[in-house]
Structure 1
């Protein structure tokens, strides 16, 4: 599987890694298990209802969350269902931005054809044979599913002394995925000598950490990455 690049609003190329097919399948199985348990609970509840008409109506209402499961979770959980969250994969737009309601809706509608009605055969073939590992819903919505698995600790581009003292301990509020994104943007901006993007990235980090600094964007971002790695390396 090849990495592919997306373009930021400043036309800076950032590498993203498509999620492996196995990760997407396992994520689907986790979600299917969750939905299965929920459905079992619904039928357990309605079996105690004596009225057939009311029982059928109640079943339809209670099963709505299952029908809308992927749409609702991806829409309100930043592109992740519980299964995707567990496998650290996420739905994003091809340009790296967050998908819109229409994008998620398109993926959900085509899911009924690709996965629900045909046991996932079309989805698997599409993922295998497209350059960005996209199913038909992704192609239609111009979305991709990317992997956000931890890479920063295995792919450092700096050395940290044993007696290193962190400067910004607040970095612990970031997740590994946050730091990986920061690292990707930082390396891309450095490679393209894009000081504007570095300054933007620095400002976003400062706002998130609620701190002040007189360091240059390059010095500050590098320090944040070092601090995060040092603090979390033994966790």
Structure 2
């Protein structure tokens, strides 16, 4: 199975397994079926209430309200459902940034704008590019810096409760934005903290700078090691509180 190397700093690499072209096609098919069912149901509703969509202002507004979500389906799903449409949810795959972090709104928007170029029903270039690229990315992914990965390789966590003993019920996380990090990134931080090599201090400094940028932490960090320990603890706290991190 192919794996994608994700750079998390100047000295470490993590691995994510990209979703295959077949999985993405099946997910896209499920999404298409869901949209068709939605259109059929709303059409029956409009016929039942006997509203003309073209002759009245109410009909026009109702048409926009009902069918604009169809046009923006993939964008809305990925923005509000952490990178997953209905099809991606069933296939257990999701959209992430190439560095393993959560995509921004602009990334999702760019993927959506390029969707007509990628879809098999239009030009179909997306499928060809997925087959040819190492990270199984369509054109929208390449432009947005995103990729689609298997859910089981995303924020998978295998730890015993003993590892969380220091997280008391009264623990208050300092950085709630750590939920945007991937488990692999947290593992890199933990390994660096536990490292005994000569470059440990340099690595801690590099990771701290990287995390400040990713998490938008603008205040000065006096104790970088304590900062990284806090990041790991906060992530573990949310992992226990929120099953979506598991």
| TM-score, scaled to structure 2 | 0.65
SS of structure 1 residue aligned to 2:103: coil
SS of structure 1 residue aligned to 2:134: coil
Q: 1:138 aligns with which of 128, 136, 141?
A: 141
SS of structure 2 residue aligned to 1:149: helix
Match of 1:85 in 2: 89
Gaps of 5+ in 1: 159-164, 171-177, 212-227, 229-235
Q: CA RMSD in A?
A: 3.6
For 1:133 and 1:97, how far apart are their aligned partners in 2? 17
Q: CA deviation at 1:205?
A: 3.9
Contact 2:111 2:141 in 1 (8 A): yes
Alpha carbons of structure 1 residues 45 and 116: separation in structure 2 relative to 1, 3 Å: farther
Match of 1:186 in 2: 187
SS of structure 2 residue aligned to 1:66: helix
SS of structure 1 residue aligned to 2:14: strand
SS of structure 1 residue aligned to 2:6: strand
Q: 2:119 aligns with which of 103, 115, 120?
A: 115
What are the equivalent positions in structure 2 for 1:76-225 lying under 5 Å apart?
A: 76-115=80-119, 118=122, 121-149=124-152, 167=162, 182=183, 185-186=186-187, 190=191, 193=195, 196=204, 199=229, 202-208=232-238
Alpha carbons of structure 1 residues 97 and 11: separation in structure 2 relative to 1, 3 Å: farther
Alpha carbons of structure 1 residues 142 and 42: separation in structure 2 relative to 1, 3 Å: same
Contact 1:13 1:188 in 2 (8 A): no
Alpha carbons of structure 1 residues 24 and 109: separation in structure 2 relative to 1, 3 Å: same
SS of structure 1 residue aligned to 2:148: strand
Q: CA deviation at 1:90?
A: 1.1
Aligned length: 194
| TM-score, scaled to structure 1 | 0.67
